[in-house]
Amino acid sequence: MTKICIIAGNYQEALAFAKAQNIPKGCWFYPKDVNELLFTSNFYTIVTGTAGHNIPPSIFEKIYNLALERGKIGRI
């Protein structure tokens, strides 16, 4: 099953987005850090809310680019 990676300012923003879009809990995840993305693949990435505002731009770019790269693995 393909999941959705929601990159947001915090977990509450990700949860609010998922609820507003009627995305069931088992179909999405919020990466707390880069390490969480290293062991996940085959997902789509959405950036929402204040993502990137609370962390340095270099760290946001690292998380975002890794999510895009890892999300493509295993996708047909």
Longest Cα separation, the chain: 34
Q: What is the pLDDT of residue 1?
A: 67
What residues of the chain score a pLDDT lower than 50? none
Measured between alpha carbons, how far is residue 63 from residues 19, 22, 29, 59 in Å? Answer: 23, 25, 14, 6
Which residue's structure tokens are 């047909």? 76
Sequence-distant (≥ 6) Cβ neighbours of residue 6 within 8 angstroms: 14, 17, 18, 28, 29, 30, 46, 48
pTM as predicted: 0.89
Q: What is the DSSP letter of 65?
A: H
Residue 22: the pLDDT is 96
